[in-house]
Amino acid sequence: MERTLLILKPDCLQRRLTGRILQRFEDKGLVLAGMKLMQISTDLAERHYAPHKGKPFYPGLIDYITSGPVVVMVLAGQRAIDISRTLMGKTFGYEAQPGTIRGDFGASRTFNLIHGSDSPETAATEIALYFNDDELLDYAPVGSEWVFQPGEE
């Protein structure tokens, strides 16, 4: 099973959308492998956003992600990264399609509610920033055989 890291950002928590957004991923069939409520430190934010260091928007990213509590989670399932990115929608809420998380709840360039890994390599790196191996679980919920066809990629 593929894993991806999602972060429900400070605006998501402030707007009390956590449950509604998590529900969309569970409804799609992805499995929660780990979850934490936390405040991201500046050091951790800088490591997370290291690929963007030096870009004009970098300081704003650090300020935003450290401005309040977040929910960090790992979801698992076949094509978890592609599924998650489709559910999230385009980065800027005003460009995102209705029916996506950002399309339904977002209107800002900055306050975009959620982060999701963009590739298996990025997911592995990001998951390791937030979780130890012993904090992640592998299990198959009852009925999961009706969500993903075994062997289907």
Contact 36/95 with Cβ under 8 angstroms? Answer: no
Q: How far apart are CA 83 and CA 3, in angstroms?
A: 11
Q: How far apart are CA 101 and CA 20, in angstroms?
A: 9
Active site residue 115: yes
User: Is 97:86 a contact under the CB 8 Å cutoff?
Assistant: no
Contact 26, 75 (CB under 8 A): no
Kindly name the residue from 3, 9, 102, 115 that is annotated as catalytic.
Answer: 115
Write out the catalytic residue numbers.
115
